[in-house]
Each structure stands twice: as structure tokens, then as C-alpha cells.
Structure 1
Amino acid sequence: MSVRIFHRLNFTIPKPSLYKALYFTPIRTRPAHTLTHVSPPRTRNIHPIYAPSIQFTSASRICLSRTHYKSYLTAATPPKLRSRPRKPSSNVDTISPKMKRFLEAIGVTMMGSTIALILYSGRPFDSDRENKYKDLDSFTAWYKRLQARFEDFLQFFTEPPSDKLLQDKDTLPNFPPLTLVINLEETLIHSTWDRQHGWRFAKRPGLDYFLAYMGNLYELVIWTAQPTYTAEPLLLKLDPLGMAPFKLTRDQTRYVDGKHVKDLSKLNRDLSKVIIMDSDPDAYSLQPENAIYVPPWNGDPKDTFLIDIIPFLEFFVLFDSQDVRPVINRFQNKKNLPQAYSEWEKQWKEQSRLEWEKAKQPKKGLASWAFTLGGGHVQHEVTPIYQAIELRRKYMRDEFNSHYKNLKEQAPQFQKMLQEEQKQFEQMHMKQLKDSKMTVWELITQGLPPPPVQPSDFGQMGSSPPSQQSLAGEQRTA
């Protein structure tokens, strides 16, 4: 009989005497029929690095004297107390066999339901849409229908809820023909966050005057990519008087290539009369010819962009532009658009003055005598066009400044009235929600209930009360 004893190699014995004592552990033999497996004693008091591995080369069986081995290892490695009970290796070990069978049944049922739903989604369409697949083979037609239904499902989450985000133009009296869409983040406001104060928002210099003035020249729309539940409180504080009648949020954007895009074609307006101001080029990537790029505002209190851009936006109103896109395209690639427009306007005024003075000179020769004998006048005292434009601009600004002063004085009354109407609307909304409670079965069979009717004073979301609408109408008429 030969015995070979092996030890683990990835440990170090603190003392040679302990290593020697381990080799000279007493060994006693037993008959082969009384021993089936020999291994070191399994107890938590035995450190694994001292457990030898024994290999046998004959039929005889031997075992270590457990009494001496256990006492030695217990003294060498004191027991380690556990602060908490041993955790199972996985949660599956704690599940009963009955629960395992139940979970397996659920998994098989869900897998079968998924396969059945996929097969059912490729069924033929009940409408004329099925004509597109009538010439295809059965499998290809089924795959195309499945793909079409999947795209329809994605469109529910990536497309605006309606193709008409704004009311029809003919239903909005006293509204200007041009529409100005303005972004919120980094265009009108700047947001910061810290652990002490949380989120804080700052208004761009000149914001209140800009919104009030543009609200008299344009149909003003504030369109933000923020969710509705975070944008609404912010917009109410930003524009408490409702100078921007319409507010749109992330729900009205399109989700394209991982980005929220503002599709101007969904506004229900003529694109030749729509301007968008945004600090993110991706937001207007579908209609870049209608866009004015606004440098992002990082909180600089000396920023004057909103005031500097006013003359350029006045241009479209003063000249009654039928299509804003050619003018925007002319200045779109300029590094500083307000400065570029100011230089162009100076050149245009000088050129118009020279042309008017040239046309003002009296006619000479036979033609002038014939014109005089015919009862005409050689000279016509008319106002040159550049002076007429400047006078019209001065009149608009003076009229607005007087109204704006009165508006600021009456602002507390308007805000109080808005808060009261908002509170009444919320109470009416909660009452309608309570009256429209539905069971799960009614929800499945009848679908969603109709949206609650908003008070007539509010109209669309974000519209101002009648008193402010009439005030805005008076300002536009002036």
C-alpha cells in the first residue's frame, strides 16, 4: 500500500513546527469493506488551507485520526463568529417546488401569448389598406402587415397627438397673420441646479418686454421640449399675463433619431408665415428655412439679444411679408444676425433716399411743358418709403409703450384674476374626473372617456382671459 499526501500550494504556514506536525498526523487503517469515502472532517472550525488532499493507489482504505486532526486544527484556527445568518446562494433555492412549477407555467403562458399576438398582428386589414398586399405571397404579406402595425404602434409614442396643434386661423379674431414660435430652454431662460437650492431659473434680460411687444405683432407660441408636468408651472410664472396665447410641450414634438423635433407643419399654419426662434438646430431640422438661430444664454446679465433682434422681427410686419423664408435665408448664416440686419437697413435707407431724390428732380424739355399744359404738376410731395417705414415703426413702439406701462400697473389685478380662474378650472376638472369614473371592463370595452370640457374663458391651453384678449386686440388695432 502506498499513500501520497498533497497540500495546497497557495498558502503559507506561519511556523515550520506546525507544518511538521501536520505531516506526522497519526494514521490508522480500516478494512476496505467498512470505508467507502475518505475526506477531511467538514466543520467550520477547520481552515481550508490546512485540509490535505489524499490520493490512494491501492484497494486498501486509510483515514486520518480525526481526534488528533480536529483538535490540532481547532487550536490553530479559532472559530469565526458570524454576525448574520448565511444567505442562500440564490432566490431559487428558497422557492418551493410548487411555486417553481407555477412560475414555469406562467412563463410558458406568456411565451405562447406573445407568439399568438405576433401571428395575429399579421392578419389582413379590414380597410382599403389591404390592397397594398394583395399581389404578395402569403408570408410576405403577413410580414408587411406585421411591420405596418408595429410602425403604427411606435408612431403613437413618437408623433404628436394631432396634425393640428393650433386652432384654425379663421376661428381666432384679431390675431396677426404671422406666427412666431419661441423656444424656452437656453433661449428665454437659463436653469441651474445645486444641492442647497435645487432647480433655479433665470429670465433672459428683456424677456418681459420682448414677449409683450411680440405678442402685439405676432401670433406668439412658446414651444418647449420639457414634459407638460414640469413646463406648465414654469410657463405660468414666466408669462402670467398670457402674452403668448399658446404653449406647446414635449407631447407635441416628434421623436426622430433620439431627438425631440418641432415639426412646424403640424401647427396648422401656412409655413410661409411661420418663424421659429430656437437655440438647438436639431429642434428645427425639418424646417431650417423658417428658423432664426438664437445663441444659447448661459445666465449673462449683460446679454441684449432679445432687444437687438426686435428690429429684424419688425421688418416682416412693416413690409407685410408674404413669405418670410427668403428674408430669413438671407441673414441665416450671419454670425451676428442683429448687427447684419442693422447694417443692411442702413444701406437700404441710403439707397432709397438716393432713388427718391433722383425721382424728385423736375423733368426737363418738351415732356415737362406738355405735362404742365395738361394740368399736371411737375413735382409730387410724397413721403419717401424709408421715412414712411420709420414713422410707422415709431408709431407702433410709442403706442405699445403707453399700453405696456398701463399693463404693468394692472398686472397684479390680472394675475389675481388668472389665479382665481385657474382654481375654478381645477375644481371643475376634478369634479368631471370624479363623474367619469370607469371600471376596468368599461375601460376595455368602451375606451377612454372624452376629455373634460374646459371653461370658455380659457379656450386652448395657455390662452389668456377675455379681458386680456380684448386688450391685446386693442393694441394690435392701434
Structure 2
Amino acid sequence: YIGSGLLFGLLIGGIGYYGRPFTAKESEKGMKDDPELNALQQLWRRVAKRTAVSFSFLSEPATEKLLPDANEYTMPYTLVLNLDDMLIHMDWSKEHGWRIAKRPGLDHFLAYMASMFEVVIFSTQPSHSGMLVLERLDPLEYAPYRLYKDHMRNIDGKNYKDLSTINRDMSRVIMIDTDPEAFKMQPDNGLLARPFRGEPGDNWIEQMTEFLEYVHMMEPKDVRAWIKTYQGKDAALEFTKWEDSIRNKLVEEWEEKRKLAGSWKAWVFGGAPADLENPPKPEFDQMRKMMRDNFEVQHKEVLAIIEKERVQNEEEMKRQMKDMTVWKMLQTTVKGPPVNPPVSTDSASDKQA
């Protein structure tokens, strides 16, 4: 009876608490009473709304703003990369346990992308396992922001990567994922990637790099217009085909000019014009070479600074450990070994006396 009474009391108390009038803060979020309902209907409506909000943590991201506000140092474009079966492939066996294969070129890719984009890695793994993977995968934090399953939105039992929560202008956000369902909430921002299953000869990163370089070169006002061209397709492969078509067209035009020049100009002037000696290169290839050369120089300098700091930190730690050891030795020498307090030698008869 006591248990039943306690349960009944808690139920009544809960109804009273959840059925109380909405606060001003709740009203700002759209939780308002319906004037056409009577008092009892209003009470049950408040209970239902507050109960739904209480359980929303099961379907809502951990916070409404997953990234801090952009500042003057934030890159102009944000690149959201899927982790699982795109950047890495995880495999388990009884013999070896969990093994992680990195997509070929991944280390350089992350470093290079960080020079052009604000890089965010969004994993479908829970944070407790995903954090361990990313600490090993990206120790230098080229992708300073890492999101996990905890940050996804659950709708009807399915998880989605809701870009509206990352606190960035959607016209400057590119999301790349192997699962089109992942960016279902913002399909205009999503590019489809080929899944990675651990193949050593995979060249997706090489192809995707060229697309992202081109975005950086052209600085579009709204990346969604570009993304729309490749929606539902293998963006990396399709862009590579487009670039190859431009190169082939330039070579064909160059060869045609050489034929025309060779018909009579070569005989009269002793050779073709200088600009026809070698096939022309598209402007994007020339810009790409400059970008990559500059990056390699700067990245080498950054790595040298990081290595220098690492060595200095190690030496400082060793020095501190040595100083601590010497200090303890000096303390022991000056003060001597610790002395226990004297023990009373009074006999029982003395105490009685």
C-alpha cells in the first residue's frame, strides 16, 4: 500500500508540475496555451508538450550550436567529411581484432584541405569510440572540429547529419558522405563519395582533391549551385571527366593549329611559332601547381616548427624530472630519513599509579 500511495503521489505531483502554466521562456519557443480549450484540456496539453520536450534529447543533437561562432580567422568555406567507410575502413577479425585502413593519401589530404577549408569530421560512431579513432588518425588536428553520432538528429528511428546545427552559412558548406541519407536534411549541400573498403589502389582522394581545389580557386558565392551539378553522382569521378575533356579539347585545338602552321609557315619561317612548341595547359592546372607548390613549402615549415617544439617539450620534461629527483635527494641529505614519533615506554603499573 505504501508503494502504491507513493507512486500515486508522484504521478499527481508530476501532472501538477508538467501541467503548470507556461513560463515566458517557454512561450518564446512557441509553447503557448490555446484560448479555445478549457482548463482541463489546457492542463493535459501542457503535460503532453513538456513530456515531448523532456524526451527530445533522444532525437535532438547534444546542443543547438555544434560549432563556435565564426571569427576573422575562420576559413571562408566549411568542409564536412564523413569518417566511416570514406576516410577510413574498420574491419574486425578474431585473429587481429579491430584494424583500421586509411584511404590512400589521407594524411596529406587532411593537411592540404586545412589550408583551404575549415575541416569538420562527422562520424556515425558514438563519441566514446570515434574520439579514440580520430586522436590517432589526426593527431595534429587538421580537422579541429569532430562530431559524432551524439550530434546527429534522429527522425523516425533514422539518424541524419543536420547541417543547420553547425552554426555556419549554408551557402559556404560542403558535406561529403558515402550515404545520401546522411545529408537528406540539406541535400543541396551534399556530395556523394565512393565507399572505401580498404582497397590499396583507391584514387578517390586524388580526384576529390582536384574538385575541392577548383572550388577554392573560383570562390563561388554559393557552393550549392556547384554541388547541384553533381547531385546523385560520383562527384570526384565526374569532375575528373570534365577536367580531362577540357585538357583534351585544348590539345586537339593545339594539334590543329600545328598542322595549319606546318603546311607553309614552317617552310617559310623555319619552324612553328613558339607557342605551338608544347601543348597548352588549362589555367586551372597552372593555378593548381602554384597552390600545391606553395602548400608544400609552408607545410614543411610548419612541421619543422612542430617537431622543434616537441623536442623542446621533451627536454623540458626530462629536466624537470631530473630537478625533482635532485631536490628530493637534497631534502633527504639535509633532513635525514623520516623519524617516527617516540613510543611511550610507561608500564601498565605506572599508568595505574
Using structure 1 for the length normalisation, give the TM-score. 0.54
Q: Among residues 233, 240, 243, which one is paired with 1:342 in the alignment?
A: 240
- Determine if the alignment matches structure 1 residue 230 to structure 2 residue 129: yes
- Determine if the alignment matches structure 1 residue 329 to structure 2 residue 329: no
- Determine if the alignment matches structure 1 residue 310 to structure 2 residue 205: no
- Determine if the alignment matches structure 1 residue 143 to structure 2 residue 20: no
The Cα offsets for residues 353-381 of structure 1, whole Å up to 9 and x where unpaired, read as 999xxxxxxxxxxxxxxxxxxxxxxxxxx
Q: CA separation in 1, counterparts of 2:139 and 2:57? A: 32
Pairwise CA RMSD: 3.0
- The one-letter code of the counterpart of 1:143 is W
Contact residue 241 and residue 414 of structure 1 kept, 8 A: no
In the TM superposition, 1:38-437 aligns within 5 A as 104-127=1-24, 128=27, 131-170=32-71, 172-173=72-73, 175-334=74-233, 336-348=234-246, 387-406=282-301
Contact residue 240 and residue 415 of structure 1 kept, 8 A: no
Contact residue 91 and residue 98 of structure 2 kept, 8 A: yes
The Cα offsets for residues 58-105 of structure 1, whole Å up to 9 and x where unpaired, read as xxxxxxxxxxxxxxxxxxxxxxxxxxxxxxxxxxxxxxxxxxxxxx52
Contact residue 119 and residue 144 of structure 2 kept, 8 A: yes
The Cα offsets for residues 219-277 of structure 1, whole Å up to 9 and x where unpaired, read as 11111122222222211110011111211222322122222211111111110110011
Give the greater-gyration-radius structure (CA): 1
Alpha-carbon distance change, 252 to 302 in structure 1, aligned in 2, over 3 angstroms? same
SS in structure 2 of the partner of residue 168 of structure 1: coil
Q: CA separation in 2, counterparts of 1:230 and 1:349? A: 45
- The one-letter code of the counterpart of 1:337 is A
SS in structure 1 of the partner of residue 91 of structure 2: strand
Q: CA separation in 2, counterparts of 1:418 and 1:106? A: 62
SS in structure 1 of the partner of residue 46 of structure 2: helix
Question: Offset at 1:205?
Answer: 1.1
Q: Which segments of 5 or more consecutive residues in structure 2 lack a partner in the other structure?
A: 254-280, 316-353
Contact residue 182 and residue 222 of structure 1 kept, 8 A: yes
Contact residue 192 and residue 232 of structure 2 kept, 8 A: no
Aligned length: 285
Alpha-carbon distance change, 414 to 106 in structure 1, aligned in 2, over 3 angstroms? farther
Contact residue 160 and residue 253 of structure 1 kept, 8 A: yes
SS in structure 1 of the partner of residue 159 of structure 2: strand
- The one-letter code of the counterpart of 1:226 is Q
In the TM superposition, 1:20-31 aligns within 5 A as none
Q: CA separation in 2, counterparts of 1:145 and 1:419? A: 60
Contact residue 18 and residue 50 of structure 2 kept, 8 A: yes
- The one-letter code of the counterpart of 1:395 is M
Question: Offset at 1:330?
Answer: 0.6
Question: Offset at 1:212?
Answer: 0.8
Query: Identity of paired residues, percent?
Result: 36
Structure holding more helix per residue? 2
Contact residue 101 and residue 198 of structure 2 kept, 8 A: yes
SS in structure 2 of the partner of residue 332 of structure 1: coil
- The one-letter code of the counterpart of 2:297 is S
Identify the residue that residue 473 of structure 1 maps to in structure 2. none
Q: CA separation in 2, counterparts of 1:237 and 1:243? A: 12
Q: CA separation in 1, counterparts of 2:101 and 2:249? A: 42
The Cα offsets for residues 287-313 of structure 1, whole Å up to 9 and x where unpaired, read as 111111112211111111111111111
Q: Which segments of 5 or more consecutive residues in structure 1 lack a partner in the other structure?
A: 1-103, 356-385, 421-478
Alpha-carbon distance change, 413 to 263 in structure 1, aligned in 2, over 3 angstroms? farther
Question: Offset at 1:133?
Answer: 2.0
The Cα offsets for residues 168-205 of structure 1, whole Å up to 9 and x where unpaired, read as 222x51x3201000111111111122334332222111
Contact residue 81 and residue 175 of structure 2 kept, 8 A: yes
SS in structure 1 of the partner of residue 115 of structure 2: helix
The Cα offsets for residues 404-441 of structure 1, whole Å up to 9 and x where unpaired, read as 44555666556678999xxxxxxxxxxxxxxxxxxxxx
Alpha-carbon distance change, 120 to 164 in structure 1, aligned in 2, over 3 angstroms? closer
SS in structure 1 of the partner of residue 140 of structure 2: coil
- The one-letter code of the counterpart of 1:343 is K
Alpha-carbon distance change, 350 to 300 in structure 1, aligned in 2, over 3 angstroms? closer
Contact residue 88 and residue 103 of structure 2 kept, 8 A: yes
SS in structure 2 of the partner of residue 296 of structure 1: coil
Contact residue 193 and residue 235 of structure 2 kept, 8 A: no
